[in-house]
Structure 1
Amino acid sequence: MSLSSIVLPDRRAAGWLLVALTSGVLASGSSVALLATSAWLISAAAAQPPVLVLMVAIVAVRAFGIGRGLFRYVQRLAGHDAAYRLLARTRARMTDRLEELAPVGLDLRRGDLLARLLLDVDCVLDLWLRVVLPVVVAAVTATATVALIGALQPVIGVQVGFAVLVACIMVPWLTAATARHAERSIAKGRGEVAARASESLQSAADLVAFGAVDDVICAFADADVRLAAAERRSAWSAGLGNALLVLCVGGATVSGLVVGSRSHLAGPTLAVLVLTPLALLDVLGEIPLAAQIAARVRGSLDRLREVLAAPRPATGPASPHALPRDRSLRVHGLRAGYGDGPDVLQVGDIDVPEGGRVLITGPSGSGKSTLAAVLLRLLDPRAGEVNLGGFDLTQLDSEKVRSAIGLLTQDCYVFDTSIRENLLLACPDASDLQLWNALHRARLGDFVERLPRQLGTMVGEHGARLSGGERQRLAFARLLLARHDVLILDEPTEHLDEETARALLMDLFGAAGSRTVVLLTHRPELVPYPLPQIVRLSRRTQC
């Protein structure tokens, strides 16, 4: 997926952008014509001619005044319609891309990733509404204005044309050159501030417990200071661009007055030639800002390009094989790792029959979670093979594999909503009876029945109103509702005391029924009864 494929407009959006461009030119042209006509009308009226001489100009002033507002409204309406369509499409495609990379293909901090998905994707709006449209509208209107002035007085037309060229080329170039570093720093700084804020809020309790709050606040303040400094440099660049623009337009006006006064032009004509360039100040006023924003957009697009260019950790076959009915698992000579790094997992043979149980144990860093990622088709193996029902996983559709194989991690995400809504994520059409059945099988039904609002009880942010064991049981009930045939339990007892952990494992194995279960843990002593197969991993298997 290329960057151009998600930021360029489709046919419908392009049509609305064309309407916005046409309306913008008509609105800006009406502004210039309004000032030119008003200048002629006031100058001509000073000589007190018959009123019929002024009637056409009077009507034209009214028409241009009404047209300017009307065309500007159409421009904003059409332009925002097209831009928001593009924004929705871009955000949807970026989300799809993140889904392809998650979770093992994203080497980004959570806050920075959120900033890219929200703030950096929003640059699509700025690209079209604040860069492309204003620049094109200004160029067309300024060209027409210079042609009008040149028709009345060629010398003044040349002077105004030179001022317009400087305003359209030199001013934005200088503005962009002075703002380039600042604008890229703003995009990066926003991601840094968002990342630090997200991490600080999520680990607030631990930071207080270990007395690290002051250090975190200082680091956050430093990131904020850097962002504020970049924004000040950006504002200085914008001010410089506006000052140069005023100088160009003012210079064209003064030079027009000097040349016109020496040419012995009629009063109304001289007024038109001198005052019309002033209307260009409003037309060209958005160009320095557009150049500044263009530098910011480029920085944001570079950050989006990094996400789009990231290699997929797991690739699917062009013609995937149908998902087999058999749910047996077999692993042989497996090696796996992340990116260009070393192997983090090496395992010999694992053979789990359908409905079987296997315990895979080893210290932290021995590759247990990497094995789970390979089994879920989130990561491609570097060597060896992994079979489901006798078929290589790499020859099966990833989505269908994950419909058959489910995962319960040590830190399953629980959303800040009700118990019912958390369960319905796994099966949106499930009835309350099915929800209660899953809760009771996860040994959480009695607890929920004692709650005042039962299924409607809010669990709090990250399940803060539940204990660690209750969060895991809620996540397991959600896993059961998804009707997976193979369950991977990756450190489900982490952060739990021994008694709670042992009881949780007993209940998990009981609720799994005839499903195939793969238990990954570094605490094998908590397993309530002996399992037929035990595989031990070691850090020494890494290369």
Structure 2
Amino acid sequence: MSTLIPPGLNRRLVLAALAGTAADLAGLGLIASAAWLITRAAEQPPLAALSVAIVGVRAFATSRGVFRYAERLAGHDVALRAQASTRERLYEALIPSQPLSHRGADLLSRMVDDTDAVQDLLVRVLLPAVAALVTGAVAVVISLFLLPAAAFALLAGLVVAGVLLPLGTAAASRRWSARLAPARAELAARVADLVHGSADLAAYGAKAQALAAGTEADERLAALERGQSRVSATALLAGVLTQGLTVVAVVWICQAAGTGSVATAVLALMSLVAFEPVLPLASAGERLTGVLAALRRLTALRSTPPAVTEPASPAAPPSGPLTVTVTDLVVRHGDAPPALDGVSLALTPGKRVAVVGPSGAGKSTLLSALMRTVDYESGNITLNGVEARDLAADDVRSLMTGLTQDPYVFQATFIDNLRLAGPEATDDQLAQAIRSAQLTDWSSPAAWDTSLGEDGRTLSGGQLQRLALARALLYDPPVLLLDEPAEALDEETATSLMADLLDATHGRTTLLITHRLRGLEAVDEILVLEDGHITQRGTHAALSTTDGYYRTLWQAESMLHT
């Protein structure tokens, strides 16, 4: 439980439990005092003999509403805070983790549905169980003083409704709960495929098959939910029958013992009300099975091994102008041959270095190693002489970051997406980043509130890359890393973007990964990376006249443009 409740919320949880218990006890006191008052008043005693009961009815009726409101307020507050904390910790666990095999829709289902289990555990299982236990115990103790035989009958009914039925529903629903979450994730994945891939499905004539698969997933989920609903309905019926039979048994015992009408009414109605907090425990038992399954999935997700090893005692991040030195770097993915083998380079303040090479040469792996999203096997990466592995990964990424492939755009306004890189940025700083990235469509503040739609679908490829570049320039890290900024753009857009990018990075320490050579005359050094090795290094003027990969690619690119 301590892993679910954030620090500082335990007191709120205790208050919620106390308030819920007090509300149920007030309900028990209300019905007991009201039963006594009505039956005693029928005997026409002096009014003074009823005054205490009248005050008790009013006090219990008023306090019951107050305590119930307090319980709802405190209980939902702690549940929502615990849920938010769980999601936050899940994000923190996933960000540095190794690549996951789960589909995006499955991860979304776990992030939304499974984290709801934390709220259900507190609001629908834990708090009701505490209130039911205390209220049932108080009802049995009162009955024990009035008529011991009736107390044992009430105890038996409460045990059936509060213990046996929840255990039974938990066992019956276990086979449903283990299949419901995967079914929901499958349906979410099918729906996501239909929504996001509708154009591709229509183009390839696969729309009917995708719809059929989605319908089949929906029918499977509906069948499972109907089965679980039958368990719930059966448990509810059994609980109500137990409640009724218990009240009948209490009345019969009272009649057999010759108990007066006042005690009989109090015992019968109190027994009826004692079941009010107990009956929901049957559905709580059913819910508990699903909650535990969801928590196991969250635990498995959070236990995904991190992509990089964090130091036990991170060093303080270096300050001032940053010099990054890479020496004999070796990076290997699993048991495959090294993706990088003996790579060395230096990024001094203000220096711009471009890395070119064929696909699969290890260019993106180099950026991943610099940003500490993959571990390196041997060699060194130092920042002002401090080994990168001695720094917290977040500290390294705050010093070296920038534009990665496939930048994400949220369904929000243009300016909100840009502010992700600088939440405290002024309007002048935002405008400067927009001008540097040549985002002409948003150069006017009047256009900043334009919604970009889901996944930035209203943006063209060039606009998306320019927005990502504006983010990187606004964040302004000491070392700017740019990974294929012109990838998948048409020739005219890519040429324009590269020209603006090289102009915007003038005087910034920059490492640029690119397939395009046009404009690289402006950078200070070019590295040619092939099969994980640096095969050439120098300026554009030197490499374009020296036999090798760079000259061949430059000649081919020049012929294309002529």
Amino acid at match of 1:379: V
1:240 matched to 2:234: yes
CA distance in 2, matches of 1:438, 1:402: 20
CA distance in 1, matches of 2:307, 2:330: 16
Counterpart position of 2:300: 306
Change in CA separation of 1:508 and 1:5 when aligned onto 2, cut-off 3 Å = farther
Amino acid at match of 1:330: V
**Mapping for residues 371-520 of structure 1, pairs under 5 Å:** 371-445=366-440, 447-449=441-443, 453-520=446-513
CA distance in 2, matches of 1:423, 1:86: 30
Amino acid at match of 1:461: E
Could you report, residue by residue, the CA deviation over 1:111-157 in whole angstroms, capped at 9, with x for unpaired residues? 33233333322322221221111111111111111121122222221
Could you report, residue by residue, the CA deviation over 1:82-101 in whole angstroms, capped at 9, with x for unpaired residues? 33333343333333333443
Could you report, residue by residue, the CA deviation over 1:220-274 in whole angstroms, capped at 9, with x for unpaired residues? 3233223222322222222222222223222222222332222222222223333
More deviation, 196-205/476-485: 196-205
Gaps of 5+ in 1: none
TM-superposed CA distance for 1:178, in Å, is: 0.9
CA distance in 1, matches of 2:264, 2:335: 74
CA distance in 1, matches of 2:230, 2:503: 67
Change in CA separation of 1:167 and 1:464 when aligned onto 2, cut-off 3 Å = closer
Q: TM-score, normalization: structure 1?
A: 0.87
Change in CA separation of 1:153 and 1:457 when aligned onto 2, cut-off 3 Å = closer
Counterpart position of 1:28: 24
1:39 matched to 2:35: yes
Q: TM-score, normalization: structure 2?
A: 0.84
TM-superposed CA distance for 1:458, in Å, is: 4.1
Change in CA separation of 1:404 and 1:276 when aligned onto 2, cut-off 3 Å = closer
More deviation, 285-294/393-402: 393-402
Change in CA separation of 1:511 and 1:65 when aligned onto 2, cut-off 3 Å = closer
Give identity over the alignment, percent: 35
CA distance in 2, matches of 1:248, 1:284: 11
TM-superposed CA distance for 1:280, in Å, is: 2.2
1:142 matched to 2:136: yes
Change in CA separation of 1:30 and 1:182 when aligned onto 2, cut-off 3 Å = same
Could you report, residue by residue, the CA deviation over 1:458-506 in whole angstroms, capped at 9, with x for unpaired residues? 4443333332112212211221222234333323222212333233333
Where 1:410 maps in the other structure, the secondary structure is coil
CA distance in 2, matches of 1:64, 1:353: 75
Where 2:314 maps in the other structure, the secondary structure is coil
Change in CA separation of 1:269 and 1:456 when aligned onto 2, cut-off 3 Å = closer
CA distance in 2, matches of 1:45, 1:353: 93
Change in CA separation of 1:275 and 1:421 when aligned onto 2, cut-off 3 Å = closer
- Pairing partner for 2:61 from 44, 62, 65: 65
CA distance in 2, matches of 1:368, 1:206: 30
Q: Indicate conservation of the 8 Å contact 1:435/1:481, yes or no.
A: yes
1:86 matched to 2:79: no
Change in CA separation of 1:158 and 1:305 when aligned onto 2, cut-off 3 Å = same
Counterpart position of 2:7: 10
TM-superposed CA distance for 1:344, in Å, is: 6.9
Counterpart position of 1:95: 91
TM-superposed CA distance for 1:53, in Å, is: 4.0
Change in CA separation of 1:153 and 1:322 when aligned onto 2, cut-off 3 Å = closer
Change in CA separation of 1:463 and 1:275 when aligned onto 2, cut-off 3 Å = closer
Change in CA separation of 1:210 and 1:366 when aligned onto 2, cut-off 3 Å = farther
- Pairing partner for 1:186 from 176, 180, 186: 180
Amino acid at match of 1:254: V
Counterpart position of 2:267: 273
Q: Indicate conservation of the 8 Å contact 1:6/1:93, yes or no.
A: no
Amino acid at match of 2:22: L
TM-superposed CA distance for 1:428, in Å, is: 3.4
TM-superposed CA distance for 1:48, in Å, is: 4.2
Amino acid at match of 1:438: A
TM-superposed CA distance for 1:413, in Å, is: 1.9
1:77 matched to 2:70: no
Q: Indicate conservation of the 8 Å contact 1:21/1:137, yes or no.
A: yes
CA distance in 1, matches of 2:2, 2:25: 33
Q: Indicate conservation of the 8 Å contact 1:183/1:231, yes or no.
A: no
Q: Indicate conservation of the 8 Å contact 2:412/2:452, yes or no.
A: yes
**Mapping for residues 104-115 of structure 1, pairs under 5 Å:** 104-115=98-109
Where 2:277 maps in the other structure, the secondary structure is helix
More deviation, 110-119/427-436: 427-436
Q: Indicate conservation of the 8 Å contact 2:403/2:468, yes or no.
A: yes
Gaps of 5+ in 2: 534-562
Where 2:526 maps in the other structure, the secondary structure is coil
Counterpart position of 2:117: 123
CA distance in 2, matches of 1:125, 1:386: 44
Q: Indicate conservation of the 8 Å contact 2:341/2:532, yes or no.
A: no
Could you report, residue by residue, the CA deviation over 1:280-307 in whole angstroms, capped at 9, with x for unpaired residues? 2312121112112212221221122123
TM-superposed CA distance for 1:216, in Å, is: 2.6
Amino acid at match of 2:367: A
Change in CA separation of 1:61 and 1:343 when aligned onto 2, cut-off 3 Å = farther
